[in-house]
Structure 1
Amino acid sequence: MSLLFYLVVGLLAATIGSLVGLGGGVIIVPALVYLGPMLIGQTVPVAVAVGTSLAVLIFTALSSTLTFVKQRRVDFKSGWLYFITCGPGAMLGSYTTQFVNAKSFQLAFGFFMLFMAILLLLRDKIKPLKVIWPIQRTFTDAQGTEHTYGYGIVPALIIGLAVGFISGLFGIGGGSLFVPAMVLLFRYPPHVATATSMFVIFLSSIMGTITHLQLGEVDGWMVLGLAPSALVGGWLGAKIAGRLSSKKLLWVLRVTFLLVALKMIQEGFSAA
């Protein structure tokens, strides 16, 4: 039962996480905390669930990033820029996890995801920023349509820091903030935002996991159980993402964020 649980959770989390640029922690963390006692007979502390999830994200993000690289969707130049602050931010967030209790974690996680879901739901009604960013990039999609987007160094570094901190704190990879920010603020095409997000998540997950390991918050046996199917799921999610239109991918993002937000908020208030 334990092995089947790990295989299913790893595959589902990595597939969805890679598909929407999250990394899969939005499924792994709740699954370990809520289902662990019932299905594997083990109560998993929030900090351990977060640390273990972040360690598994290394495999998920690596698998999906390699697939996205083959599809030529990763913007490495902006990705490395985000990582300058995202890496240290992940370590800081990982260190902070030990001071957050389960109830506070659930509510903070839930309301954060709800905010991101609302932003994406209102995306079509939000007027694009009338900003000509100093760094301009172009991307031509599979349909031959050329997309132009851009960013500024300082805003990118600030977003990288916020993403890194959230990644380490929640164990979710940070894509829940990264992808909307890239799409709404910098006008990245969703496919490029998802792919670039996964590349940065791969790097920052390594940094955050190092901190969680030092704090003893990573369960090695759980990582071994989750990692194999996570590698497959990372590849599968990236392949599916490559076949979806930008509009469909955005709806997957919206629905995923909303469902996770409502579940976490409900559990947070139930624990009160």
Structure 2
Amino acid sequence: MEWFILAISGLFSGVVGALVGLGGGVILVPAVLFFGTTLALIPDITPQSVVGLSVVMMIFTGLSSTLSYMKTKTVDFKSGFIFFIGSIPGTILGAWVNRGLDLPSFNLYFGILLIILSTLLLVRDRLKPVKWFVENGKKRTFTDDKGTYIYGYPIWFALLLTFGVGFASGLFGIGGGSIIVPAMILLFLFPPHVAVATSMFMVFLSALVNSATHMSLGNIPWLYTIPVIPAAYIGAKIGASLNKKLNSNTLVFALRIVLLLLGVRSIIAALM
């Protein structure tokens, strides 16, 4: 039963993560915690092991998505590497802080994060882009059949921002795309499809560091990776394919509500 639950959770996490550039951890972590700790359907699940499982999964969702997006040439590899460099120390620090969290503390902080992410997705379309970062940063261009886009960022700010993204990723096992994608679109003026593709490339690279760190801490439940990894890999391919065909606004709207409800449930579980 637990393998079936993990496979379905991994598949759904891969689809949603690749479709909107989230990485999938924001779906897998609360799902596995709910089935594992609240319903007791997955044995030996702890905040540390579910984060370890999530970061290993994100290696494969990130790789699958990146390979798919490479075919459409929407991955900005140079920016992705810069963002990855900034995330490395934050990822390692977050993983080390994670080992000191018990379940109530993890649920409380993770619930607060989910509500923040839900709010970010809610206001993302209503905020006006900030051109200052492009005008005072390193400019990039991207051209497709719809025209040429100019975007950019000060490297120092990008490194600072991705340090925070990496910390959240290491601490909670999320990909960081839910934070970095709105920032790339609103602050750095990335075209949305380039932001999603580049985010998944950064998720792949940072998940390698994240997994190595959590592996050294003994946080990865290797047996549970068997159903999750192939399901998430397939899901990520489906999500990347749907990204090219669908307007993801409906999914993003639903995701806002889901993250909000999950955040509230997580906080209530922490306080009970």
Aligned-partner Cα distance in 1 for 2:40–2:85? 40
Would the alpha carbon gap of residues 268 and 116 (structure 1) be closer, same or farther in structure 2, given more than 3 Å must change? closer
| TM-aligned CA deviation for residue 15 of structure 1 | 0.8
Q: What is the TM-score when the length of structure 1 is the normalising length?
A: 0.91
Gaps of 5+ in 2: none
Q: Is the Cα contact below 8 Å between 2:30 and 2:262 reproduced in 1?
A: no
Partner residue in 1 for 2:261: 262
d(CA) in 2 for partners of 1:267 and 1:86? Answer: 26
Q: 1:231: how far off? A: 1.1
Other-structure match for 2:120 = 119
Measure how far apart 1:48 and its partner are: 0.7
RMSD: 1.8
* 1:231-242 superposed matches below 5 A: 231-242=233-244
Please say which of residues 103-112 and 222-231 is displaced more in the overlay: 103-112
- One-letter amino acid matched to 2:136: W
| Counterparts in 2 of 1:116 and 1:28: CA distance versus 1, 3 Å | closer
Structure 1 residue 182 corresponds to structure 2 residue 181: no
The aligned residue for residue 98 of structure 1 is: 99
Query: Residues 113 and 176 of structure 1 are in contact (CA less than 8 Å); yes or no, is this contact kept in structure 2?
Result: no
Deviations 1:68-118 (A, max 9, x none): 111111101111111112122211111111112222322322322322332
| Residues 108, 270 of structure 2: 8 Å contact kept | no
Q: Which residue is 1:139 aligned to?
A: 142
| 1:15-164 matches, cutoff 5 A | 15-36=15-36, 38=39, 40-131=41-132, 132-141=135-144, 144-164=146-166
Larger displacement relative to structure 2 (35-44 or 194-203): 35-44
Which secondary structure state, in structure 1, belongs to the residue aligned with residue 108 of structure 2? helix
> Structure 1 stretch 100-109 or stretch 164-173: which is displaced more?
100-109
Overall identity of the aligned pairs, in %: 41
Q: Deviations over 1:207-257 (max 9, x none)?
A: 01111111111000111121111111111111111223xxx3355334314
Question: How many pairs are equivalent?
Answer: 268
2:175 equivalent to 1:173: yes
Q: Is the 8 A contact 1:136 1:150 kept in 2?
A: yes
CA drift at 1:270: 3.2
Distance 1:10 1:191, change over 3 A: same
**C-alpha separation in 1, matches of 2:56 and 2:180:** 19
Distance in structure 1 (CA, Å) of the matches to 2:53 and 2:206: 14
Shift of 1:41: 4.4
Amino acid corresponding to residue 137 of structure 1 in structure 2: R
* 8 Å CA contact 2:113, 2:263 repeated in 1: no
Contact 2:69–2:240, Cα closer than 8 Å, also in 1: yes
Between 1:166-175 and 1:87-96, the stretch displaced more is 87-96
Match of 2:228 in 1: 226
Q: What displacement does 1:3 show?
A: 2.8
